[in-house]
Amino acid sequence: MNLSLEYLVREPKIKLDKNPLLVLIHGYGSNEEDLFSFATELPDEYYIVSARAPYDIQYGSYAWYAINFDADQNKFSDNDQARSSRDAIAQFIDELAANYPIDSQKVTLIGFSQGAILSYAVALSHPEKVQKVVAMSGYLNTDILEENYLKNSFLNLKIFTSHGIVDQVIPVEWGRKAKPFLENLGINSTYKEYPIGHGVSPQNFYDFKNWLLEK
């Protein structure tokens, strides 16, 4: 099936009239196979779709947006590319709903690192498209949200945020800013830390899986 992003899909083992959807959004320099390794451990009733980022870095490595360094080795993100990817993911969710028997009221984004940053951006810009977000080892970049996002209703949005306390790529201090920001918007949010670096520990996986299963 030709959709606007390359992807892998695991069909639900339990078929309903319309099944919930989980979209996996990988980090910088990775690809759609990375988080798809989680698929066998995730709940049986979900369509699980792992999307590939649109920007090709090198063989088998992709990014949702460029990360550049200036002469002083300061790192900055290409926010124009990030906004473009935000819109691409939002469109991709619509395409999946049009092509698979998906319950559009039960869409979850699971993002790691750059994928977590994009998951926040999509959910806060389009809360009508996304009901749950798992944002691991990322941060909230308000520069890539839709300009009028504060007019949105976030009543149906729930967000699980996690971070490693010794993350050497994205400092844990950046991750910690998400919960007060989300609570200020009235969003139901959970925040957890783990004694790891930039990665997903077994406990982290177990915790977000249990959070997904909460009714």
Scanning the structure block, which residue is given the tokens 């308000």?
142
Whether the full predicted model's pTM is greater than 0.85, yes or no, is yes
Please name the residue ranges forming H helices in the chain.
32-36, 79-99, 114-125, 172-176, 178-184, 202-213
Cα separations in angstroms, 151 against 107, 185, 199, 211: 21, 10, 34, 27
Q: pLDDT tens-digit profile of 188-202? A: 999 999 999 999 999
Cβ distance 205 to 134 under 8 Å? Answer: no
- Span 28-73, pLDDT tens digits: 999 999 999 888 899 899 999 999 999 999 888 999 999 876 666 5
Does residue 166 fall inside a structural domain? yes
Gap between the Cα atoms of 187 and 120, Å rounded: 12
Residue 201 belongs to a domain: yes
φ, ψ at 30 (rounded to 5°): -110, -160
> What pLDDT is recorded for position 28?
95
CATH of the domain at 201: 3.40.50.1820
Q: Which two tokens stand for residue 32?
A: 């759609």
Residue 169 within any structural domain of the chain: yes
Q: What number is the average pLDDT over the span 8-18?
A: 93
**Residue 1 included in any domain:** no
pLDDT class of 77 with cuts at 50, 70, 90? confident
Of 41, 48, 8, 28, the C-alpha closest to 137 is 28
| 189-209: b (≥16 Cβ within 10 Å) or e | bbbebbebebebeeebbebbe
Domain count, the chain: 1
* C-beta of residue 1 within 8 angstroms of C-beta of residue 21: no
pLDDT of residue 100: 96
Domain assignment present for 131: yes
User: pLDDT tens digits, residue range 131-178?
Assistant: 999 999 999 999 999 999 999 999 999 999 999 999 999 999 999 999
Strand pairing partners for 94?
none
**Mean pLDDT along residues 80-96:** 97
User: Is 2 within a domain?
Assistant: no
Contacts of 160 (CB under 8 A, 6+ apart): 132, 133, 134, 135, 189, 190, 192, 207, 208, 211
What residues make up the domain containing 58? 7-213
